[in-house]
Structures are given as C-alpha cells and as structure tokens.
A = this chain, B = another copy of it.
Amino acid sequence: MTEVIYPEERLRQKIHIRDPTLRNALSEFIGTALLLFIGIGIVMQFILSGEKLNTWIQINIGWGLAIAFCVYACSKTSGGHLNPAVSIALLTMGRLPVKDFIIYCFAQTFGAFIGTVGAYGIYYDQFIKYAGNHRTIIGPKATAICFCSFPALHVSNTTAFFDQVAGTALLMFFVCVIIDKRIAIPGWVHPFLFGFVVIMIGTSVGMNVGYPINPARDLGPRIFMLFIGYGSQAFTYHDYYFWIPIIAPLVGAVLAAWTYHLFIGCHIPDPKPVVLSMDEAKQPLRSA
C-alpha cells in the first residue's frame, strides 16, 4: 500500500506549537474573531437592510450556527469557550488555571475586536448607504445595535443585570448538561447542541438587551465603536450600562454550572466517580 502524507501534515511537522497555552490562546483568538465576524455580519444584515434580508429568526439561527461551527473549529485545541463566562465557570470547576483564564479572556476580547473590524469592512458600503455619517445610538439612523447591546430606555439596569445573569445561566446550565459524561451524548454532537441552546435562548431571553451573554462578544465591538466615531457614549449610555454585559454573564455562568451539579448532576445514579487523566484535565472541553 502506497502511503500519502498530505501537505498540511508536512506543514504540521514544521509549525506545530507544543506550548498548550500558546496554541489555546491562538485558537480562542481565531475562534472568537470568526464568531464576531459572522455574528456582527448577521446583525448588520438585519439592521442595514431595514430588517428585510434578515428577520429575528435568522439572527437566532445564524448566531446559533456560528457558535456551533466556531466551537467545532477550536474543540480539540482550546476547547472552544469563545466566552469569558464559559471560561470562568470551567475555572471554578477545576478545568482552567487562573493564569490561562486571564489569557483566554484577552484572546477572546481581542478576537471579538478583530472580527468586528472585518464585518465592518465587508459592510462598509451598506453602512454608509444606511447611516451616512451618522454614528448614533438611538434615533432613526441609529446603528449602535449593530455592534453590541444597548437597552431600551424603559429597561432598568437592574433588570438588564438579572436578564444577563439569567441568559448566561441558561447557556452554562445546558453546556454542563451536554458535556456531563453521565448524560452520555457523543462528543462530536456537543458543539452542534451548544448552537441550538443559543437559538433557544435567543427566542426566550432576547427582548431586554438582545442576549449578548458573553463579555468578550459585547466589549470587543464596544471598544471598536470608539474608533469609528460613536464617542464615549458607547460606554456612558444608559447610566454606564456597559459593565453589565461584562459582569453579569460571569455571575450567571458560575451560578448555573454549580446549580446543575447541586440539583441534578450529582444525583445521577452511577457509583463510580468520573476520573480523568491530568492530560485531559488540562484541555478543557476537549471532549467535544
């Protein structure tokens, strides 16, 4: 039997990164950049077409699939968190050292920023056609919602906080269900199901602030807004709302992970403790 070594295998032999932290950070960066490139594109296609080319169901489905496929891409390197809230929950579950958590957060947020740059570039012509030189948060030509969350005036920051706790809690609760080895869903299905969890959340907890449920997804594009003329309003709007989609998801994800194990996961009948090797433990969510 003649064997063939494919070009990408030869490339691998030359460039394979052996340091787990570096390759994981790279994966989180690429994965979150892709996620935001796709995701910001989805929202822009909705807003800039006057809600014609996309409707809310496409936002739900598009974001869900973007999560699914970006997690697939990173599932065997960094685990495909793409979200500091997922990372902090896994930190409390012993899957991620504090140092790596901090690196993941930076990689994710920087990735989100870069992905937004890409989507803005692709849709720059449409942006100009829709909004001209206006860069405003509310009003008829408002485009701020293309980038990140801005609550309506009748939604209080307290409500927004609990909304983001709840939305991210749903995400992390079902992530814990899906990856629980005792629930026994095959690993290759996990990212696809994560995507459908996001679709579900979008149909349910999307009305108050539009389900960011991810600090990097919200902060990265918000920083980008400073560069293209929205000014400090991106941060000061609605009584400094900006910190809520950063902090609340972290709270929600940790609460949900432990709620799942406290009320359900720990009680699944199965006498043997699940034990993993240190190697597996170092690769959070690698099972996917």
- What residues make up the interface of A, taking CB atoms closer than 8 Å to B? 1-9, 11-13, 15-17, 20, 23, 26-27, 30-31, 34, 37-39, 41-42, 44-45, 48-49, 52-62, 65-66, 68-69, 72-77, 92-95, 118, 121-126, 128-129, 154-156, 159, 162-163, 166, 170, 173-174, 177-178, 182-189, 192-193, 196-197, 199-200, 203-208, 258, 260-269, 273-278, 280-281, 283
Which residue of B15, B62, B205, B258 contacts A122 across the interface (Cβ within 8 Å)?
Answer: B205
7 sample A-B contacts, Cβ–Cβ < 8 Å, listed by A number: A3-B275, A30-B264, A41-B204, A42-B204, A53-B206, A61-B200, A76-B269
Nearest chain B CB to A32's CB is how many angstroms away? 12
Nearest chain-B residue to A267 (Cβ)? B23
A12-B53 contact, Cβ under 8 Å, with A69-B197, A77-B267, A277-B2: no
On whether the beta carbons of A178 and B273 are closer than 8 Å, the reply is no
Give the residues in chain B near A192, CB-CB below 8 Å.
193
On whether the beta carbons of A159 and B44 are closer than 8 Å, the reply is no
- Those 10 A-B pairs whose CB atoms lie nearest each other, nearest first: A62-B203, A41-B204, A65-B200, A23-B267, A12-B266, A2-B278, A4-B281, A8-B261, A58-B203, A45-B207
A1-B183 contact, Cβ under 8 Å, with A123-B208, A196-B65, A205-B122: no
On whether the beta carbons of A208 and B73 are closer than 8 Å, the reply is no
Q: Roughly how many angstroms separate A267 CA and B192 CA in the complex, as a whole number?
A: 22
Give the residues in chain B near A188, CB-CB below 8 Å.
183-186, 189
On whether the beta carbons of B264 and A94 are closer than 8 Å, the reply is no
Given contacts A69-B174, A185-B188, 17 further A-B contacts (CB under 8 A): A8-B93, A8-B261, A16-B266, A23-B267, A27-B267, A55-B56, A60-B61, A61-B203, A65-B199, A72-B174, A72-B183, A73-B174, A74-B264, A76-B183, A125-B155, A125-B159, A192-B193
Nearest chain-B residue to A20 (Cβ)? B269
Give the residues in chain B near A7, CB-CB below 8 Å.
92-94
Which residue of B2, B53, B204, B266 contacts A38 across the interface (Cβ within 8 Å)?
Answer: B204
Nearest chain B CB to A229's CB is how many angstroms away? 20
Nearest chain-B residue to A123 (Cβ)? B207
Give the residues in chain B near A61, CB-CB below 8 Å.
57, 60, 199-200, 203
Give the residues in chain B near A31, CB-CB below 8 Å.
264
Give the residues in chain B near A162, CB-CB below 8 Å.
121-122
On whether the beta carbons of A4 and B34 are closer than 8 Å, the reply is no
On whether the beta carbons of A208 and B65 are closer than 8 Å, the reply is no
Q: Which of A12, A154, A178, A281 counts the most chain B CB atoms within 10 A? A: A12
Q: Roughly how many angstroms separate A283 CA and B270 CA in the complex, as a whole number?
A: 13
Q: Roughly how many angstroms separate A186 CA and B184 CA in the complex, as a whole number?
A: 11
